[in-house]
Chain A
Amino acid sequence: MNGSAWQDRLFRWGNAIFLVILAAGMLFPFLYIFSVSFTTFDEFLKSDFLLWPKKWVPDAYLFIFHSRSFLRSLWMTVYLTVAGTAVNLIFTSTMAFGLSRNIYGGRAITFMVLFTMLFSAGMIPTYLMVKMTGLLDSIWALILPAAIAPFNLIVIRQFFQNIPGELYEASVMDGANDLTIFRKIILPLSKPALAAFSLFYAVGHWNTYFAGILYLNDPKMWPIQVILRQIVVLSDPKNALGAVEQVLLDVQPPPETIQMAAILVATLPILIVYPFLQKHFAKGVLIGSIKG
């Protein structure tokens, strides 16, 4: 009895130490980025590895916020994320609601959704479609083609299907139509699921990168990740062999301190959203999976 309690404690301590080390491993890069972004460049050059600057300077941040294109693209990304997530949620939840009811042809539609999940069109056909629909050079080119993620749709549909059928029947008895049921019954009950999926969608929009370059010709509309990549990639020799001459061009690699500051500014906003949605999060993702 005594022995097992001792072992239990040992295990718990060992576990705690292991998890702390693991967490430190995850936090380490962030701390590094944070510290480097606040050091002077020559201190960065001098030190082998830097975790806490001797002298704190905000120069890198001043540089970034002085650049209008950085702020502009940050704003574009916020706009894209908010508008895009709203569109995603509206389309995904309404379609999932429709498919969760036994409607005529529902199976065929579900099949088509599954089909696009497994066989998605490549880059060029999608580009042609965006071009034909006249979305090129509009922010909607980043939102509408991906308005519904099939996988999310299926999971939300599953979630809606698990809502007891009696609720529908009772609502219909009380004279509610489909729209009222959706708004007043289904949506309030699905908050955890919607919170979780809005986070999925939002992170996706926040990280929009290549689609921005592909569909938008005006650099004014480019999302933050494009600018970030410009800042970071310039100092990297493209790993390609013999590319040395490509590296030392007129454009100088921005010093690492500016890179790190840019990374931080571009990542922080979406990181901040997490804690607020976290309480819904685990619940929302798991809920579609348990069937009673």
Chain B
Amino acid sequence: MKKKSRVFAACMVVFAVALAGCSSSNQPESSASSGAAGSPSNGAGDKKIAVSAMDFFYGDVPPADGRGVKMIDEKFNIDYQINFIPQANYDDKLATVLASGKIPDIVSFQGGDLTNRYHKFAKQGAFAALDDYIKDYPTFQRIPASVLDQFRVDGKLYAIPQYYPRFGFTTVVRKDWLDNLGLQPPASYEELKQVALAFTKNDPDRNGKNDTYGMAMGASINPAFAQGPYWDPTAWYHKDDQGRFIPGLISNARKDVIQMYADLFKEGAITRDMATLNWADTNKEFYSGKAGIFIGTPRGMSQAYMEGLLAIDPGAEFVALDMFQAPDGSKGMLAGRGFLGITTISAEAGKDPAKVKRILDMIDYGRQFFPDDQKNDKNPDFDWLNGNVGQGYDMADGRAVLKSTAGTEGLYPQEYFVDSTAWPEKDTDVNYPADYSNPKLSQLTSEIMKNYSAMKYYTSPNNRVVSETELAKGADLTKYLYDEQTKMIAGQRPVSDWDKMVEEWKAMGGEQLIQEINANIRIKDAKEGWSN
């Protein structure tokens, strides 16, 4: 017995030594690379610098040695090693790589990591502070202060946010159905309810069959059909009787919306199996011509779905609703966080200002915004980013069209930038409707864009607050509310139980959450959260 335990102990020692050996063997490696990149005195631009990067990726990942990478190497005089990981597995891989001790020079974090890992690592000094650099770069200057401030940890900036528009979704209604029934596009929840009921009962598609209904809805009461922050389940807009901000999910405005859904559900005007329907199937309810009310947004609508619907019902027309006027007089939209990913530079790379500059040069270059009339082969920057005309893309009818293999074969440099989305001056500068070749989709999205261009935005005050309860239990707490509210819609729990539900939620940790968030909220009144 004794002998065995000694063997075991010996194994452990060997193992520990092996581990130590590993982490120490990393040291010379990384210092060597930064050493090679160092000595900026004798012309930093001449020296080839090794730059490693790690980023998450949606869709087909391009090969690590594609033509685009070679073009980047040449242009910026670097040895660029980019490691793309499918988005769904990014968190696991990130955890492993960070634990292995060698952090790549550039690391992307997903938006949700802002108050989690980004914050934690920034506090531990894992990233290079970028305050001194950003003023030199035009595309970093464009980031609104309200967005950028979210990334300050102890007053210092450690990240460059990746562009994502602030706007969200609006409700889209079948216009041809409204016309058939002689109805106007709804401008309030009461009118929306009447339209949903009429779509269910009055045969809006005039085919003589009772085969249509109102709102397409799936699991987690998604989409939210929030026509303003007043009703938005994710906005911290309302206050409780103690004067504290509370999440939209437990507000009285939400209760009224749930009551309306419950009434509609009873009449069959909401998707029957909404409790279990996934997002793809929820889309199917609308795009198969069964439901008449869904959501839309300028960016990222599905052309395949739209063409499917138009094949079934060629006469389909759509109208996007304006935000509703709230009882408190406000009218506008809940602002998204205004970014999608977070780009950081490791503290190790940060020791060498020349290297940081080279990296930022590159990131800045990839974020250039071009208006439509400059998206062609005459513009050398655009031409380079898209892999040169004839090789990465072709010009057709004055529009640049990427070659079909450009993505999977990595033919153009833009694909390889960690941050490859242009940062426009204004959200509405981007011409999303031009992305769709389908005329009806193009028309619908330009209608939405027109509406959004005069939009007022509400920034939820909890956005950049770090809360331990949120990190530990946030997902469970939110899920609880969605589950209970789903039961209320389906009639399994009376809506009159609302206050009881809120109390239960508070006891589970919601009270703690409200306290932690409110302790760090900087505005006194929701009115201060509005901006253009």
> Which A residues form the contact surface with B (CB < 8 A)?
41-42, 44-46, 67-69, 123-125, 127-129, 131-132, 210, 213-214, 217-220, 222, 226-227, 229-230, 233-242, 244-256
Contacts and interface: CB of A to CB of B under 8 A. Distances in A.
B89 interface: yes
B177 to A, nearest CB: 17
B220 A241 contact: yes
B88 A233 contact: yes
Nearest to A137: B64
Interface of B: 18-19, 21-22, 25, 58-65, 81, 83-86, 88-89, 92-93, 95-96, 99-100, 111, 164, 168-169, 218-220, 222-224, 233-234, 278-280, 284, 287-289, 297, 299-305, 307-309, 311-312, 336, 405, 408-409, 475, 478-479, 482
A232 to B, nearest CB: 10
A42 B312 contact: yes
Contacts of A226: 86
A260 to B, nearest CB: 12
Contact of B96 (A214, A245, A250): A214
Given A131-B22, A218-B65, A255-B304, 9 more contacts: A42-B312, A127-B99, A213-B85, A213-B92, A219-B64, A220-B63, A233-B88, A237-B280, A244-B222
Given A237-B222, A249-B300, A242 B478 contact: yes
A217 B84 CA distance: 7
Contacts of A252: 300, 302-304
A220 B64 contact: yes
A42 B311 contact: yes
Contact of A241 (B95, B405, B479): B479
B377 to A, nearest CB: 23
Contacts of A236: 278-280
A251 B409 CA distance: 17
B89 A210 contact: yes
A241 B84 contact: no
Nearest to A111: B4
A89 B64 CA distance: 33
B58 A124 contact: no
Contact of B302 (A127, A229, A246, A253): A253
A229 B169 contact: no
Contacts of B300: 248-252
B58 A45 contact: no
Nearest to A256: B280
A227 to B, nearest CB: 8
Contacts of A244: 169, 222-224, 279
B120 to A, nearest CB: 17
A253 B281 CA distance: 12
Contacts of A241: 220, 475, 478-479, 482
B381 to A, nearest CB: 21
Nearest to A112: B11
Contacts of B164: 245
A57 B81 CA distance: 41
Contact of A132 (B22, B83, B289, B408): B22
8 contacts: A46-B288, A68-B409, A69-B408, A124-B96, A132-B25, A237-B222, A244-B224, A248-B300
Contacts of A246: 111
A256 B279 CA distance: 12
Contacts of B219: 239
A132 B19 CA distance: 9
Contacts of A217: 64, 81, 83
